Amino acid sequence: MKTLAEYLELATQTHGHICAGQVLGVRLAMLGMRELGIDDPVAERKRLVTYVEIDRCVTDAVALVANCRLGKRALKFRDWGKVAATFVDLKTGRAVRIAAKESSKQAAREMFPELEKETGQQRAYAQLPDETLFEKQWVRVEVLPEDLPGFKGPRVACAQCGEGINFKREVIKDGRTLCRCCAGEKYYETVS
Ligand SMILES: [Zn+2]
Ligand SMILES: [Zn+2]
């Protein structure tokens, strides 16, 4: 694994700026890797799937350190609004969930009361011990075959819109094979 300083340098480049979320995310993922005994997430990239529970600064840093990307299907997003991530070791089946403690903000404030909030958090999150910043749980995650990176399966066409659907994401409704949109899970309305 790289050092904290090296990851922060990389995080600044890929995320576009350095921020408290980057520092916290790098620390969170480094802890996850250590717990799973994964020393080089790049060399062992086929071994890891990461679930993130928020889409925020911290997420970019977690994805960077764990070397998990959405486009590789190794990064899964659960929109729960929580600063937490679960790292699943596909080789051993072990999984660890690391969540930022609610008290970590307060701990940062107490460490550097004289500093402006963002600066104080950046420095404190780099220095505070893991136990102060994070809660750790061993968990079990069932990663379905169709959710695994590299899954190959038939693509089916939606009976209504005709668009192709991968990874078994189709639903059967009234005997018809539909995409989630046509089945009613819309996040958009068509405009003319
Ligand atoms: Zn940021
Ligand atoms: Zn459809």
pLDDT, one tens digit per residue, over 141-170 is 999 999 999 999 999 999 999 999 999 999
Gap from CA of 89 to ligand 2 centroid (Å): 34
Gap from CA of 131 to ligand 1 centroid (Å): 23
CA max distance for the chain: 65
Gap from CA of 181 to ligand 2 centroid (Å): 6
Give the ligand at the shortest distance from the Cα of 25: 1
Give the ligand at the shortest distance from the Cα of 8: 1
**Span 94-131, pLDDT tens digits:** 999 999 999 999 999 999 999 999 999 999 999 999 99
Give the ligand at the shortest distance from the Cα of 21: 1
**Span 47-104, pLDDT tens digits:** 999 999 999 999 999 999 999 999 999 999 999 999 999 999 999 999 999 999 999 9
**Span 7-19, pLDDT tens digits:** 999 999 999 999 9
Q: CA angle, corner 2, sides to 137 and 51, nearest 5?
A: 35
Give the ligand at the shortest distance from the Cα of 186: 2
Place of tokens 């505070």: 128
Say if residues 98 and 109 touch (Cβ distance below 8 Å).
no
Give the ligand at the shortest distance from the Cα of 185: 2
Gap from CA of 170 to ligand 2 centroid (Å): 9
User: So what's the pLDDT on residue 118?
Assistant: 96
Gap from CA of 148 to ligand 1 centroid (Å): 29
pLDDT of residue 192 exceeding 90, the answer is: no
Gap from CA of 144 to ligand 1 centroid (Å): 32
